[in-house]
Structure formats: C-alpha cells, structure tokens
C-alpha cells in the first residue's frame, strides 16, 4: 500500500456514512426499537453499540434486536465489533478489509476508537471499480486518471497522446537498447540465421511469465505481509519451474524446425533462465515502488516489460554462445 497520506477524496473519510443506528450499551431494546422507528437511516443493519464516550464496543444484528425481549439490554445482545479503519485509511485498504472479513460495511473510528460512521456497501463497490480501472490504465502504461473508462475514450486525440506517450518513449528507449544487443551478435546471427527465429517466442514467453507475476504481486502486496525473501523465493521458484517446463517442450519443436542440437539446448536453457528472471522482475518492480511510497501498479507497465525483454535477450544470446 501507499505509505504516504492519500488525498482526502481517496480515504475512508470521503465515503463516511453517519446515518446508521447507534445504541448505548445499557439501552433497553424497547427504547432503541422505538427510536429507530422515528429516525431516518441510510443503513439499518447492524446496530452499532458504543459506550458513554462514544467508543465502539460491538454490534447487534437488527434481526436479533427485533426478536429479542423488549426489556433486554444491548450489552446482553451485542457481538464483538468487526475490524475497523480510521478516517484517513486509503479507500483501497478499506475495500480490502471488507473483502477479507466479509463485511457489508466497514466501521470507521478515530484514534480514541470513537465511532464515526461506516463506509457503506455502495461506496465499497464504487472504490473497487475505480481502483480496478486505475490499475488497468497503469498496467498498460497510460498515465493520468479518469472517472470512468468511457471518459478516457471520450478524450480528444491530443490528450490521449499526452497520457500514453511518456511510457511509450520509455519503451522506445528500451527497443533501441534491444537493437543494440542484437547488433552485438551480428556476426553470430549471420553465421547461423536460425538463432533469430526463436527470439520472438522466447521474448513473448518471458513477458507472459513476468506479466503473470506482476498481476499477482500488484494486488498481493496489499494483502500479503511476508518478508521479501520468502516472496521472492516463491516467485523465482515458480518462474524457474515454468521456464523448465517450457524449455522441455521447446526442445523437440526446435529440432523439428531444423535447429541444431546446440541451438535447441540454448533455447531451452534461455527459457528456463528467462522464466526465473521475469518472475523476479515482476515481483521486485512493484515491491520497490511500494516501498518508495508509490502505487505498486505503476511497476506493471512498459518499464518492467522493457527490462524483461533486455534481460531475456542477453540470457538467450549468452546461452547461444555457450551451447551453440
């Protein structure tokens, strides 16, 4: 998660709903039911129970409240309160808390645990939709923000170019470096043209593995709090296994296409190494950005792809030198 303070419009405070039923711990059921019938509430379930200082103590499901004896007190009926957030909690974190604990509404408290209200279900759905759209834009390297995907489509061409061009320029710089790598092996390519045949497939498969890791990591960073070493080891192992399986699959295909045994082995080894490398990059880029206080989704754009492509080419040509 972003370690900096998010804008107010993206916090729990911006979605706070205060029109909810609140009862005192010693209040009889009959009094609360009578009070509920005369008030206007945006949400009626559950009843939030507080002490004299307004601190949240628990909840009473409205169905149980209506079925209880009228002389019973709320303290006898209440359940422990669900997990809470403070008013400055990032809206995405609020949605994650709701998902993790299966909450229809998330209670909001101040630093002294005084009950402020809830983030209602409609706001949670809206947050999830907005965050999903924002991640998709960042994932494809489109900067800027839009209230809705349709808004992005309605932008004039000049604005669309301004939003997309920065990351494409990064990709362009990376393509120049990739061309330089290819040029460095010009003599070897002239001697065995078949080496170039496998470049697109190796780069594509490495990118696909890296993209899977990025997609899992971007959202996983909000939920997973394991040490980096454990996370990295898991992704490296996963990428290596995927690369090994793809490498074994490509061996007969490369030989069938006319590659020498050495070149086929180089392709297989390159896929194995590129799989592990791409998985590592797919985890490290979002993790580093998260630690810098930036949204980790930015690590899933063209920059990570460019780095993966360059390293994949270097690994492949190094394998060619060794095996072919």
Three-state SS for 280-295 is: HHHHHHHHHHHHCCCC
Q: 149 lies in a domain?
A: no
- Of the pLDDT bands very low, low, confident and very high (cuts 50, 70, 90), residue 188 is confident
pLDDT of 225 higher than 80: no
Model-wide pTM > 0.75: no
Q: Are residues 313 and 178 in the same domain?
A: yes
User: Do 181 and 308 lie in a common domain?
Assistant: yes
Average pLDDT for residues 162-170, to the nearest whole number? 71
- Shared domain for 117 and 185, answered yes or no, is no
- H helices within the chain, ranges in order? 29-38, 62-67, 74-77, 91-101, 121-139, 149-154, 157-184, 186-191, 194-197, 199-223, 228-256, 261-291, 302-323
Q: Is the pLDDT of residue 171 over 70?
A: yes
- How far is residue 180's CA from residue 187's CA, in Å, rounded to a whole number? 13
Express each pLDDT in 66-84 by its tens digit.
888 888 888 888 899 899 9
Residues 189 and 277 in one domain: yes
Q: Which two tokens stand for residue 229?
A: 């070493």
- Residue 171 shares a structural domain with residue 101: no
Which candidate, 294, 264, 277, 99, places its Cα nearest to that of 195? 264
Provide the 10 A C-beta neighbour count for residue 302: 20
Looking at the fold, whether 198 and 71 belong to one and the same domain comes out as no
Whether residue 215 sits in one domain with residue 307: yes
Mean pLDDT of the chain: 79
Q: Average pLDDT of 41-65?
A: 89
Whether the ω angle into residue 243 lies within 30 degrees of 0, i.e. cis, is no
pLDDT at 2: 43
For residue 124, CA distances in Å to 7, 100, 101, 117, 250 come to 17, 13, 13, 14, 46
The CATH number of whichever domain residue 13 belongs to comes to 3.10.580.10
Considering the domain architecture, whether residues 183 and 306 belong to the same structural domain is answered as yes
> Do 90 and 181 share a structural domain?
no
Instruction: Kindly state the average pLDDT of the residues 211-233.
Output: 65
* Residues 179, 89 share a domain: no
Domain count, the chain: 2
- Mean pLDDT within 133-138: 59
Mean pLDDT in residue range 292-318: 73
Q: Could you tell me which residues come within 8 angstroms of residue 57 by beta carbon, excluding any fewer than 6 positions away?
A: 25, 49, 50, 51, 75, 78, 81
Relative to beta strand 85-86, strand 106-109 is: parallel
Query: For the residues 145-157, what does the mean pLDDT come to?
Result: 53
- C-alpha 248, offset from chain centre: 32
Q: What percent of the chain has pLDDT over 70?
A: 80
Domain range enclosing 87: 8-126
254 and 111 in a common domain: no
> If DSSP codes are grouped into helix, strand and coil, which group holds residue 50?
strand
Looking up residue 298, the CATH number of its domain turns out to be 1.10.357.20
CA separation for the pair 259, 245 (Å, rounded): 19
Residue 287 and residue 125 in contact, taking contact as beta carbons nearer than 8 Å? no
For residues 190 and 299, state if they share a domain: yes
Cα-based distances in Å from 134 to 119, 129, 221, 285, 297: 20, 9, 16, 18, 9
In order of 48, 51, 109, 221, the CA distances from 27 in angstroms are 12, 10, 21, 43
Among the candidates 75, 98, 126, a domain finishes at 126
Token pair listed for 27: 């209040």
């Amino acid at each position: 998660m972003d370690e900096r303070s998010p804008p107010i419009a993206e916090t729990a405070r911006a979605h706070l709903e205060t029109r909810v039923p609140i009862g005192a711990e010693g209040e009889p059921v009959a009094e609360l039911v009578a009070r509920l019938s005369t008030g206007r509430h945006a949400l009626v379930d559950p009843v939030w129970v507080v002490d004299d200082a307004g601190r949240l103590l628990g909840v009473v499901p409205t169905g149980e409240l209506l079925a209880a004896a009228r002389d019973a007190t709320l303290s006898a009926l209440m359940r422990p309160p669900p997990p809470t957030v403070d008013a400055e909690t990032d809206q995405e974190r609020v949605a994650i808390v709701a998902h993790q604990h299966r909450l229809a509404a998330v209670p909001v408290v101040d630093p002294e645990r005084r009950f402020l209200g809830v983030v209602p279900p409609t706001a949670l759905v809206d947050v999830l939709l907005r965050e999903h759209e924002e991640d998709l834009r960042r994932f494809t390297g489109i900067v800027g923000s839009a209230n809705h995907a349709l808004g992005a489509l309605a932008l004039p061409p000049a604005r669309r170019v301004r939003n997309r061009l920065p990351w494409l320029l990064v990709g362009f710089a990376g393509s120049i470096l990739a061309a330089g790598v290819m040029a460095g092996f010009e003599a070897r390519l002239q001697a065995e043209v078949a080496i170039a045949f496998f470049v697109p497939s190796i780069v594509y498969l490495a990118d696909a593995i890296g993209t899977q890791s990025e997609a899992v990591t971007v959202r996983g960073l909000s939920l997973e709090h394991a040490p980096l070493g454990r996370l990295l080891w898991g992704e490296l192992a996963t990428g290596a296994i995927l690369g090994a399986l793809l490498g074994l699959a490509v061996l007969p295909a490369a030989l069938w296409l006319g590659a020498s045994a050495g070149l086929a082995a180089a392709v297989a080894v390159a896929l194995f190494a590129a799989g592990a490398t791409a998985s590592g990059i797919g985890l490290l880029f979002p993790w580093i950005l998260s630690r810098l206080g930036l949204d980790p989704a930015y690590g899933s754009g063209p920059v990570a792809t460019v780095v993966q492509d360059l390293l994949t080419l270097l690994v492949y040509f190094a394998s060619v030198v060794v095996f072919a």
